[in-house]
Amino acid sequence: MVQFLKDLRIKHKMIALVGVMLVLILILSGFSLLKMQRVSEEIQGIAKENIPLVRLSTDVTIKQLESSVILEKAFRAADVDAVSSPLILAAFITDVIQHNEDISKELLSTQTMLGEALKNANTPQVREKTQQLNQDIDTII
């Protein structure tokens, strides 16, 4: 085998070297394309599932804070001995009930999205994290 390589002309050796390099480049390109495809799938998963979930959790947090403010106003209004305080309290209670319903809707929407994300989970880590989030939402509800 070594003698065969020694007997080849330089021209044939160069052609063989270029051929081997091209094959290696093609293999590397295929591997890179496969990895980039996986990264693309993960980014699409983040864009379609994680970002909406973050938005929903942010909305829930904002609504909870608004409910806290409304409840605090209601407690302050309860100490006021004016004739209109029952009307003020009724308005605040209505606001609190409305915020509670909004939060419940957001949580149910989040739970639905987590269910869909669980169906589309690609890796065991993502599936486990999605199940944990789903259990946390159940606890909150």
Q: Residue-wise pLDDT tens for the chain (141 aa)?
A: 778 777 888 898 899 999 999 999 999 999 999 999 999 988 887 887 778 878 877 888 888 788 778 777 777 776 655 555 667 667 777 877 887 788 888 888 888 887 877 777 777 777 788 788 878 777 777
Q: What is the pLDDT of residues 75-115, one digit of tens each?
A: 777 665 555 566 766 777 787 788 778 888 888 888 888 78
Residue 122 backbone phi and psi in degrees, to 5:
-90, -35
- Domain range list for the chain: 2-140
Q: Which amino acid does the sequence have at 104?
A: S
Residue 123 backbone phi and psi in degrees, to 5:
-120, 160
- The pTM score is 0.46
> Helix (H, G, I), strand (E, B), or coil: what is residue 26?
helix
